[in-house]
């Protein structure tokens, strides 16, 4: 079995990584040009956000052809060349597999729209409406009804729990399950190292698709009927069981609203399901129960709350023997140093603090493009938005939540996925070295100051910090399979914990605040890393991060 616990996984959003053919869109040849940077960083696996053929309603998460590359990104020959060059550098590729839904442009769904008796209709959820309305009251994840009108049958609808162009697959149909296995076989035969499984905990739906709290008015979020149903585990076990005897590969599950109990099942080491699950709680701590655009908490979070989430997941996964994928940035979230740190006065310190945390916690670290140079959120006016979710939610916040336009705009500007999707800032040339053509999305204006080129010449840069932390993680098994023990649990500013095994023991201290923090740990052990050049005993300055070797 692949050693998934001891890997550094780097996520690439290809559209914004590197353009090679002068069209303002990142592509596979562009990624190939930057492989030396990833190798130098210490990356083992590259997780590619979807590069399949897609109409791009949701930028690749609406797949129309799972067996071919979108022309924006190049050709299959380009993919094969990228895979070959990765292997030469000791790296592998993890494909992003969307198995809950296809695009409405997928041949299967197009057959459904062309023939009311097509056998492919049972590969999706076509249902008769009730009283000229939808079959149930479910709301979609992006706002509005989870159902879209069937053009062939006036009283029929089909289930679209994300965008109206992403049609939910009916996993009860064996043909669906076999086709997903075939897709995985195709890419594994090419030599990829595994899959990140998009919203894998939504593949099973409540039998009968009943309404959620039908006594309530309007659309309702049917969380219990569309996430973490028991049948999803049977589907995953069947899928992995079909492939695991013939291939050695890694699986990273994304589980929307998957709590500790759910993840203990999906990623339990003896369950025969997934190697690890991505945890959402840290990034939803300042949101209401409906997700990141639920503004009822006013996006307020606390350091004790932040710490409690970290410690709960760390101790529970250790106790119950399941594995998590840790991250501070990805394609769906605003930049972490803008959200949880200070991207102005303490940008470098914030970036280093979150990096040390992510790279020393129990679990496999995911690093997202640009975080290794401390990229920040980008102010985007409404005409600069590119994210379907943001554009759709802007309207939903007004119609369903009755927000004034200016408040809806502020909510979207704060939480849009576009923050994570601005081009990677390679240097201070036009368009940040991403392209010599105007990019598909705005370049963050701070690229003149924040870019890899300037980081490479600085002895105290964020990029050097990442390389050092990654090297230490790989050098000591304590950071991978070692025990995790919380320390200073009730401290109001400092996140502290120990990682240890028979080989070595370490203490990690991170000030999560913008104020100096004192601590009462009398130790004279060796400081291996500190984000300030002159560490002080029993004192951490704003966002200071310290790694100490105890033995």
Q: Which residues are known to be catalytic?
A: 198, 254
- What are the tokens at 307? 């710490």
Sign for the pseudo-dihedral over CA of 372, 377, 378, 381:
positive
Query: For residue 448, how many other CB atoms are within 10 A of its CB?
Result: 13
DSSP 260: H
- What are the tokens at 38? 């990833």
Q: How far is CA 450 from CA 22, 126, 212, 428, 468, in A?
A: 23, 49, 47, 8, 20
Place of tokens 């600069």: 384
Strand spans (E) along 245-385? 250-254, 276-278, 324-327, 364-368
Q: Determine the Cα–Cα distance for residues 121 and 173; give it in Å rounded to an integer.
A: 10
Sign for the pseudo-dihedral over CA of 195, 198, 201, 203:
negative
Name residues whose C-beta falls within 8 Å of residue 544's C-beta, 6 or more positions apart in sequence.
349, 353, 509, 510, 511, 530, 531, 532, 535
Which contiguous run of DSSP H or E holds residue 310?
A: helix 303-320
Tell me whether strands 324-327 and 276-278 are parallel, antiparallel or unpaired: parallel
Q: Which residues pair with 325 in a beta bridge?
A: 278, 364
Q: Which residues pair with 25 in a beta bridge?
A: none
Q: How far is CA 191 from CA 83, 247, 524, in A?
A: 8, 10, 48
Read out DSSP for 51-112?
A: -EE---TTTTSS-SEEEEE-TTT--HHHHHHHHHHHHHTT-EEEEEEE-SEEETTSHHHHHH
The phi and psi torsions of 424 (rounded to 5 degrees) equal -60, 140
- What are the tokens at 375? 């990229």
Cα 475 to chain centroid distance, Å, stands at: 26
Among 189, 277, 196, 192, CA closest to 233? 277
The phi and psi torsions of 168 (rounded to 5 degrees) equal -65, 130
């Amino acid at each position: 079995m692949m050693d998934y616990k001891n890997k550094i996984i780097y996520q690439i959003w290809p559209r914004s990584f590197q353009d090679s053919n002068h069209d303002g869109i990142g592509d596979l040849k562009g990624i190939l040009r930057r492989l030396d940077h990833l190798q130098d960083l210490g990356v083992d696996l590259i997780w590619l956000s979807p590069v399949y053929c897609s109409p791009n309603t949701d930028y690749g998460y609406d797949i129309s052809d799972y067996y071919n590359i979108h022309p924006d990104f190049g050709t299959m020959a380009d993919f094969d060349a990228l895979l070959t060059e990765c292997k030469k550098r000791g790296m592998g590729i993890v494909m992003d597999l969307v198995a809950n839904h296809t695009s409405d442009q997928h041949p299967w769904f197009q057959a459904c729209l062309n023939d009311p008796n097509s056998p492919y209709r049972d590969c999706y959820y076509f249902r008769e409406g009730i009283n000229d309305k939808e079959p149930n009251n479910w709301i979609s994840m992006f706002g509005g009804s989870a159902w879209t009108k069937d053009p062939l049958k006036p009283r029929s609808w089909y289930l679209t729990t994300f965008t109206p162009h992403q049609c939910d697959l009916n996993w009860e149909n064996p043909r669906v399950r076999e086709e997903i296995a075939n897709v995985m076989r195709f890419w594994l035969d090419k030599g990829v190292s595994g899959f990140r499984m998009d919203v894998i905990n939504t593949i099973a739906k409540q039998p009968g698709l009943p309404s959620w709290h039908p006594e309530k008015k309007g659309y309702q979020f049917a969380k219990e009927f569309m996430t973490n149903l028991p049948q999803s585990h049977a589907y995953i076990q069947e899928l992995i069981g079909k492939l695991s005897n013939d291939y050695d590969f890694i699986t990273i599950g994304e589980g929307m609203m998957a709590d500790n109990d759910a993840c203990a099942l999906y990623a339990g080491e003896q369950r025969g399901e997934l190697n690890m699950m991505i945890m959402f709680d840290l990034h939803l701590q300042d949101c209401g129960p409906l997700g990141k655009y639920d503004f009822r908490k006013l996006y307020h979070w606390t350091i004790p709350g932040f710490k409690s989430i970290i410690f709960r997941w760390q101790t529970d996964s250790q106790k119950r023997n399941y594995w998590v994928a840790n991250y501070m940035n990805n394609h769906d979230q605003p930049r972490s140093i803008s959200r949880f740190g200070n991207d102005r006065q303490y940008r470098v310190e914030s970036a280093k603090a979150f990096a040390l945390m992510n790279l020393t916690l129990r679990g496999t670290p995911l690093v997202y493009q640009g975080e290794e140079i401390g990229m920040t959120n980008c102010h985007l006016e409404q005409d600069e938005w590119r994210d379907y979710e943001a554009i759709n939610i802007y309207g939903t916040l007004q119609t369903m939540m009755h927000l004034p336009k200016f408040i809806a705009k502020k909510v979207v500007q704060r939480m849009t996925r576009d923050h994570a999707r601005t081009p990677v800032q390679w240097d201070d040339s036009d368009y940040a070295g991403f392209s010599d053509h105007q990019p598909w999305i705005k370049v963050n204006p701070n690229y003149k100051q924040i870019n890899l080129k300037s980081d490479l010449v600085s002895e105290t840069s964020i990029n050097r910090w990442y390389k050092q932390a990654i090297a230490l993680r790989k050098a000591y098994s304590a950071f991978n399979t070692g025990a995790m023990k919380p320390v200073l649990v009730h401290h109001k500013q400092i996140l502290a914990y120990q990682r240890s095994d028979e080989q070595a023991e370490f203490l990690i201290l991170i000030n999560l605040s913008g104020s100096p923090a004192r601590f009462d740990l009398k130790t004279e052990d060796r400081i291996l890393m500190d984000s300030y050049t002159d560490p002080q005993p029993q004192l951490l300055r704003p966002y200071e991060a310290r790694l100490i070797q105890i033995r």
